[in-house]
Amino acid sequence: MNLSSVLRPLSIITIIGALTACASNHAHYDGSSLSRSPSLATQRMKCALHPEECMYSGPYEVGEDIYAEEEAKRLNRDALRRFRRSSRYPSAW
């Protein structure tokens, strides 16, 4: 076992710990009460490690599901266009 294989996980654990400590020390005012909330970086890290904890499972507003589907289609078309433009071997799509 070399030194880099030990230092890499240790540094990741240290960064996560520092982000968690920083997030827990800051209060966030949400307009009605003073509450503690994790920083954006900590929230992104949590969602990257455990995406199921960040999924919304409540009811949608009227028409929101249709909007989400249309927006996903648009984003997929845009990504496909960018992919085709960057492709080495363009085809006649």
Q: What is the pLDDT of residues 49-87, one digit of tens each?
A: 988 888 888 888 899 989 999 999 999 999 999 999 887
Question: What local confidence, expressed as pLDDT, does residue 90 receive?
Answer: 58
Q: What is the CA radius of gyration of the chain?
A: 21
pLDDT digits (tens, 9 = 90+) for 12-49: 777 787 777 655 544 444 444 444 566 888 888 888 89
Query: What band does 3 get if pLDDT is binned at 50, 70 and 90?
Result: low
Identify the helix (H) or strand (E) that includes residue 1: none
Q: Inform me whether the pLDDT recorded for 5 exceeds 60.
A: yes
pTM of the model: 0.36
Question: What local confidence, expressed as pLDDT, does residue 81 receive?
Answer: 93
Q: Which two tokens stand for residue 25?
A: 């020390």
Angle at 44 between CA 56 and CA 50, to 5 degrees: 60
- Integer Cα distance of 73 and 83 in angstroms: 15
CA 45 to chain centre: 7
